Amino acid sequence: MKFLVTGANGYLGARIHEDLGRAFEVSGTFHRVQLSDGLIQLDITDREASRSVFSKVGPDVVVHAAAVPTAALSNKDPEYARNVNVAGARNVAIAAEEIGAKVVYISTTAVLAPEAYGPYARTKLAGEKQISAICKRHLILRLGLVIGGSPNTTNDRFQNRLLNNITKGIPAVYDNQERYEVTWAGHVSEVIAAAEAGNISGETMSVLVDGCRTRYQIAYDILKDFDIKVEGVAERKDLAGDYATTDELRRLGMPMHTYEDVIGHVVEETKAQLARAER
């Protein structure tokens, strides 16, 4: 079984690339920053380049993690978000289908609330539609706020902000209004592997734990192990969260985790990241 991860230099893509690499043959692409040796340069908005890379690598499964990954970035440049998240997803779907590869599309629970999450939600939903229309074999994984260690410690993602709170003394001030579904990065890799083992295709599932938490709550639960004081501020509008459920994970017999279990994993991964940084 051979995997190709797009955006393998990004926060989540790098984690999936690392996890899958323990059990499978894995290649990965980067766009601007080559995080590790061996990654292949690819701009997914270039269809011919996508075709060329996919046919050279010849994966059985493409995990498509490359994207304009947040509401803030998509609001700043909705046209670019459309180009990467919709046209880019279409290029990935076409290139994968031509070589008979399955596509695992990394999506977001934000697609369930387009009025709240704007161009990010709409372009990711349109990306899902490209994948399901073009790829005979595909899987769509919708994620909440992702936490957990990654080889990418620099992108402005929640886990990397926590690392900065610990290592750089940046005050841990987090919003205590908006509630998010919570996803452990390691769980995403587990589900990808389990879905392959079970030959599951044509499904859309949310990979998360039951219940929603604010960024303040999650930061508090992780940073208390590192003796970091966390301050809650009311900075975002009070969105309800609870858009997605774990029903599909359960129905399909996928691995499941509790919030407490996930926090335990993330604390251990954060300790390992700190130990690596000290070496």
C-alpha angle 11/153/275, rounded to 5°?
130
Shortest Cβ 145–ligand NAP spacing (Å): 5
Check if the beta carbon of residue 39 is closer than 8 Å to that of residue 29.
yes
- Structure token digits, residue 204: 């859309």
How does strand 212-214 pair with strand 179-184? antiparallel
The piece of 52-60, 128-136, 138-146, 161-169 that touches ligand NAP (CB under 6 A) is 138-146
Q: Which of 4, 5, 7, 246 binds ligand NAP (CB under 6 A)?
A: 7
67 binds ligand NAP, rule: CB under 6 A: yes
Helix (H, G, I), strand (E, B) or coil at 122: helix
Element (H, E) at 233: strand 230-233
Q: Which of 3, 4, 5, 12 binds ligand NAP (CB under 6 A)?
A: 12
Site string for ligand NAP, 112-131 (x = CB under 6 A): ------------x-------
Q: Which of 3, 30, 174, 220 binds ligand NAP (CB under 6 A)?
A: 30
Shortest Cβ 225–ligand NAP spacing (Å): 21
Give dist(CA 67, CA 80) in Å, integer: 10
Q: Which is nearer to ligand NAP, 83 or 253 (CB)?
A: 83
204 binds ligand NAP, rule: CB under 6 A: no
Phi-psi region of 242 (alpha: psi -120 to 50; beta: other; left: phi over 0): left
Alpha helix (H) residue ranges in 58-174: 71-76, 78-82, 88-98, 114-134, 158-167
Other CB atoms within 10 Å distance of the CB of residue 38: 11
13 binds ligand NAP, rule: CB under 6 A: yes
184 binds ligand NAP, rule: CB under 6 A: no
Shortest Cβ 251–ligand NAP spacing (Å): 21
186 binds ligand NAP, rule: CB under 6 A: no
143 binds ligand NAP, rule: CB under 6 A: yes
104 binds ligand NAP, rule: CB under 6 A: no
144: Cβ–Cβ under 8 A, 6 or more apart, which residues? 108, 109, 180, 181, 182, 183, 206, 208, 212, 244
65 binds ligand NAP, rule: CB under 6 A: yes
Q: Which residues pair with 252 in a beta bridge?
A: none
Count of chain residues binding ligand NAP (CB under 6 A): 29
208: Cβ–Cβ under 8 A, 6 or more apart, which residues? 109, 143, 144, 181, 182, 183, 187, 244, 246
48 binds ligand NAP, rule: CB under 6 A: no
266 binds ligand NAP, rule: CB under 6 A: no
Q: Which of 94, 129, 151, 155 binds ligand NAP (CB under 6 A)?
A: 155
